[in-house]
Amino acid sequence: MRPFSSPGMTYSHTSIVDLSCEEMFHIVNDVESYPEFISFCNAGRLDQMHADGYTASIEFNLGKFSKHITTRNFVSPYSSVSMRLVSGPFKRMNGTWTFSEL
């Protein structure tokens, strides 16, 4: 079993953007700037740095409700960011951003 897989719902999406892997890596890791470009995000906060990544929290709106989520993020510079749910409205949540040049 892979460390970030689960038997629940799976979502996968691929996008081609006119940015380098390094630029995309920095955008994904700039959690504090999420409210500037994610419409449903009210706040983003870097909670704690770790040797292999960081813990971050975001607050977002779902209709009339405001929700808070905290993830532990493991980084491989310019290659990937893997997330694991620490706390929030879900039973479990894992995800991975993978960056590759064309």
Domain tally for the chain?
1
Owning domain of residue 62:
21-98
For residue 61, tell me if it sits in a domain: yes
Answering whether pTM is above 0.75, one says yes
In this structure, is residue 49 part of a structural domain? Answer: yes
The overall average pLDDT reported for the chain is 91
Q: What is the CATH number of the domain that holds 55?
A: 3.30.530.20
Domain assignment of residue 12, yes or no = no
Evaluate whether residue 77 is within a structural domain.
Answer: yes
**Residue 1, in any domain of the structure:** no
Helices (H), the chain: 21-29, 34-37
Mean pLDDT of 98-102: 92
Asked if residue 50 belongs to a domain, the reply is yes
Does residue 6 form part of some domain? no
Asked whether residue 3 is assigned to any structural domain, the reply reads no
> How far is the CA of 50 from the CAs of 53, 56, 70, 86, in angstroms?
5, 11, 15, 14
Contact by Cβ (8 Å): 92, 6: yes
Residue 60 β-bridge partners: 41, 67
Tokens of 28: 């994904």
Summarize pLDDT for 39-88 with one digit per residue, the tens.
999 999 999 999 999 999 999 998 888 999 999 999 999 999 999 999 99
